[in-house]
Amino acid sequence: MTNTPTSEEEIRQRVAALRDHAPRVRQTSVEQRRAKLQRLADALLDRRQTFYDALRADFRKAPVEVDLTEIKAVTKEAEHAITNLGEWMAPDRVSSPLLFTGTRSEIHHEPKGTVLIMAPWNYPVNLLLGPLVGAIAAGNCVALKPSEHAPNTAHAITELIADLYEEREVTVFTGGPETAKLLTAQPLDHIFFTGSPTIGRRVMTAAAKHLTSVTLELGGKSPTVVDATADLDHAAGRIAWAKFTNAGQTCIAPDYVLVEDRIHDALVDQIQTCVRQFYGASVAAQQASDDYARLVHDDHYASVTSLLSDAVETGASVAVGGRHDPETNFVAPTLLTDVPLDATIMQEEIFGPLLPIIAYESLDDALQIINDRPAPLTQYVFSERETTIEAILNRTTAGSTSVNEALLHFLNPNLPFGGKGQSGIGRGHGHWGFREFSNERSVLRRSYGSDLLQPLYPPYDRLTSRIADWVLRFF
């Protein structure tokens, strides 16, 4: 399946049509927006098999993973917005100082206008249509750019959107980096980008030309800390599931594990047990498993296997896995021990099924390793010791943190999702997604009474100075 790149002239014309139609869309009611969101949720459920087939063709994603990490993630987001949209759209009343007696102050939530959503290939439905929920809820016209590296899914999304919405309201642009470059050069009102920090910088640079606001959901090296009090069976299961789902191609997957030295070997053994239970006891079984994905394309396969080779060459040991096959872009679930901190695999986001497991003697050592790296998109801690949990929350920083859990925070629409610094800018999901695509417009109106500030009009004299002094002291 291929998707024909959109030409420069077509991009210009279609974005202009979105901009022309945006004033009308901004006037849509709560019920009209709810109906648009319900159509999206219903259509995704109706086309489950279409997306099973598309994601299987793109990188052998298992149907259960499609249900839970792609379709359910979007339908849950839509259901949450439908339920709460009336409250979100209503003006927020705020208090006014006593000096402003007779006025009323509110915050109105108006759409930004014409927005662009650019998604990566690893969760091509979720990371494109999840933000679309917030954009529609906020009353915007939307340009969608799916990844060219998941072409079958991009084709399915293009057909879905064409069947649901007018092209001048929500439209899909296909193609690769050149299409993305042309789109980000357009006079847009907001860009929501999910991807790597490298491309995020390019998006932000392009947006600066038009002073377009941005949301950047990037990545980073998300650490996992396991101390000696943790429930090892539970921790190992959650770590293995979070890491090897989608063959590790998840921006919030555990990137490396820091484990208290006295339980290091036990944790490695328990994660190995989980891998065998999940995907098979041998490499052949794992390759035959319908539940284990492949790396999306040859370049990514080469990148991940290069990280593995470099790690081994610099002293790391392969405790589990390590096998790979270039014919199918298969890389086995792999656990690495004795990994040097200066190895490339500990400097770059892995984004694949390689998991360094590093022993630490004191929690201070673990925190130093975390803080020596840029703020991650997320971090995990498995512990029953409250002092460990509080130390991690108070002495590190991250976009999000899960305690004795993994991945689930992403699926809670009541929690904002996003990064910090190199791992991202802005927040999405639920009310935060609605706000990200909205302009929060301050409105102050006088309802009654006289103007108490009139005595402060020029020309300034001694009485004016006394009144100003009074205002400073008592208001």
**Residues with a known catalytic role:** 217, 251
Q: Which tokens sit at 355?
A: 């998991």
Taking the C-alpha atoms of residue 214 and residue 193, their distance in angstroms, rounded to an integer, is: 8
In contact, 331 and 322? CB cutoff 8 Å: no
* Cβ neighbours of residue 77 closer than 8 Å, sequence gap 6 or more: 130, 133, 134, 413, 429, 430, 433
DSSP letters spanning 295-360 = -SSHHHHHHHHHHHHHHHHTT-EEEE---EETTTTEE--EEEES--TTSGGGTS---SSEEEEEEE
Look at residues 304, 10, 327, 5 and name the one whose alpha carbon lies nearest to residue 151: 5
Q: Which tokens sit at 77?
A: 């987001």
Q: Which tokens sit at 414?
A: 């009541």
The residue count of the chain comes to: 475
Kind plus residue range of the DSSP H or E element containing 157: helix 151-164
User: Could you tell me the end-to-end alpha-carbon distance of the chain, in angstroms, rounded to an integer?
Assistant: 67
- Alpha carbon of residue 407 to chain centroid: 12
DSSP letters spanning 389-444 = HHHHHHH---S-EEES--SGGGG-TTS-B---GGGEES-BSHHHHHHHTEEEEEEE
Cα→Cα distances 205→185, 199, 341, Å:
10, 10, 32
Longest dimension (CA), the chain: 91
User: 189 — phi, psi (to 5°)?
Assistant: -100, -20
Taking the C-alpha atoms of residue 437 and residue 394, their distance in angstroms, rounded to an integer, is: 31
Q: Which tokens sit at 305?
A: 């296997």
How many Cα atoms occupy the beta-carbon half-sphere of 381 within 13 Å? 24
